[in-house]
Structures are given as C-alpha cells and as structure tokens.
Structure 1
Amino acid sequence: MSAAEPAPIALVIGDSQANAGNAVPTSKSWVSQGLARAGYVPRIEGYGGTGFLKGRPKDGHPSYLESLKNGVYDLPARNVGLVVMQGGGNDLKYPDGKIKAAALQTVEILKSKYPNARFAVVSPLNQGGDPASRRIEVAQVLARVAEAEDAPFIDATGWVAESNLTRHLYPDGLHLTPEGHDRLAPVFAKALADAGLAAVVPAVRSS
C-alpha cells in the first residue's frame, strides 16, 4: 500500500465485542483498535445480543444472516480489504449444525459481495476461562466453517485468561471495561499479523 492509496476497510460483522457499548465507543472496542493497528479503517456492522442465528428483532437487529439477507447492514461499496466474522457467543443455545449452516451462508453472501477481499473468522471470547464452556464448542464449529471456506481462523477463547483481563470485565462478566478493550487490542492486532492479514507491516522500533 503506497502513501497515496487510502487504507483498506476492514468490514466486521460482529456483536457487542466489536460494537462495544457500556459507555465504550465503537471506535475504542478491541476489535476496532486491533484492526486500526493492523492498518485498516474499521467498519463495524452488528449489534450487541446478535449472532449468526441470534437476533434482537424487537430492537430492529436481526441475526447476522438475516441482516445480510434483508439489507439491514450499511455495507461499504468499495475498498474492502478484509471481512471479519466475529462472535458466536450469543448463539450458544443453538445446535452446532444450525450454527455451522448459518455461518457458512453468512460467509458465502459476503464472499459474493466482496470477491477480492480477504476473510477471517474470529471466535467468541471465553471470559470465564472454563475449558468445558459452550463457547469453546461454538469456537470449534466456527473453526470448521473457516476451514471449509479457506479463511484464517482466529481463536480468541483464551485471550481474557491469558492476558489476565478478568479484572477488566464489567460485573456482567461478559463485557470489557475501556481499559480491557485497550489491553486486548494489541493481542488482536498480533493475531491478525500472525495470520498474514495485516494491511501494514508493524514498525520496528530502534533501540
């Protein structure tokens, strides 16, 4: 990417982790910050409480799949370099097969709209750190979706525990405080770089 070229957009279809909330602006979510660090202009579409199947229709926020089918999201027309499917934590009550089918359809719709973009699937966080959590099972389903779609899979289930961020969760035990988002952002940026998805090469500081 030359200096004259605009930074590519990273379109995110996600939930409250990407959209933030709880007095945290979307631009300060760990998803937005991580993508910005990786050289993208983040474009977050999606809302808290939604997933590949789970929606909040009374609030005008259908599931990822239904939102795409019905034109609910305001999708950019051009300059999309990366499409990120983030979440799944709100789909825990659905069976694996239905989650997989909805996620596959979600990816296929987006691939048809952005055939030249790169794609990534990011698992839900496992805030409690329980290795038997249903969130781990959903992550495994999404890993299979990513494999089927030849897209990198970023497993975020261990990040809260590994980065010692439990103390940076709100009392609901699910959502990060502003400091938690700030601390998780570089973890996401590194994961993007490790997956070969960074739009820019991180600067190396001289000693």
Structure 2
Amino acid sequence: MTAPGPVPRPAEPRPRPAAGVPLTPARRRRIRDRNLTLLRLAWGLMALALLAFTLWQPGDWPVKLGAWVLLTLLADESGGWYGYLGTALGVLPYFSSHAPPAQWLVILPLVGAALIAGLIVKHAGGPLVLPFAFAAFALPILLTERLGPSLDTTLTLPSNAQFRASSLGLAAAALAFSFVRQALGIYLRRRAEQPHPVSAPPLPDAGLPDA
C-alpha cells in the first residue's frame, strides 16, 4: 500500500496593487503651477539663448533688430527679468569678433529705450494694458522719425521701411501673442476654479414582491 502523497496547499492570493490616491484640487493646482513654472523657465532661457546667438553672429541690421525686438518681448512672457535681460543683450554686437552694423549706433539707444518703456507699461497689468505698452514702445521711435532730421540730418534710419517693419511690426506681433496667451490663461483659470457638479450615487433597486 503506497503512502498518500502530500496534500497540495491552496495558492495564496496575490496582493492587489494599492489604489492610487486621488488628487485633491489643491494638489492638482500645485502640480499645474510647478509644470507651468518649468515651462516658463525653459521658454525664457530658449528665447534668450536664440537672441544671444543671433546678435553674436554676423548679419544684416534688419535681422538683428527684428530678433532683438521679437525675442525680447517673447522672452518677457516668462517673467519680468527675462525682458530686461533681453534688452541688455542688445550690446552683444559690440563684443562680437565681427564688426557691428553701422546702423546699430542708432538702433541700440533708440530701440533699447523703446523696449524699456514698453516693458514697464506691459508689467503694469494684464492683457488690457498691452495696447498702451505698444504705444509706449512706438512713441520714442515715431518722435525720432519726426523730429530727428531737424536735429541731425543724418538721422534718417527711423523713417526706413525695413526699420519700421523690424521694430514696430514685430513688436505688434509679439504683443498680440501676449494678449492671446494671457486671455486664454484667464479663461482656463476661471474654468478650473468653477465647482464641478457631484453626481449622486444611484438608488438601490428594491424590486417588487412576487405575486
């Protein structure tokens, strides 16, 4: 008579993975704010790096001027000091191994002052102040265009069509982008702050007694 074999042990149930902790609105807001901060940091540094590269390399003055205005205002979307640092980068052509364009002697003080004036007004409020920021940027350029030749007959650069397109035109485009971004951000924040309706749990089906 053979001895009975070992009785097989029942398989132990596998532990179920712990359910994820639901994100509270406050935690979700902190994660969103952290991601937005990282995105702004990357955006600002990328714009400043591209601006520094463009100003350091040889090139025509319309390209350098357009990059200076556009990338400075776009970098300013990441925070105030990005815009002022972009304005300060306007001196880079004088430190490059290549000679700066002759027109840069007029562009640097004129457009630099216009950028500072526009940035100061831009930082004063939300999207509704952006038209005034453009006016503050354009005012020094338009005044120089009108009054400059009477003070210095060689000061004709502000009346150049390329100069106006590279300064006023690109400033308007950058501020229009800022308006859309800020307006969209306000809309999304208000939508996220709205209370979400909580659906009531379904009532248990009591059923009908059998006849």
More relative contact order, 1 or 2 (CA 8 Å, 6+ apart): 1
Q: Which has the higher strand share?
A: 1
Q: TM-score surpassing 0.5?
A: no
Q: Which TM-score applies when normalising by structure 2?
A: 0.30
Q: Which has the higher helix share?
A: 2
Which of 1 and 2 has greater Rg? 2
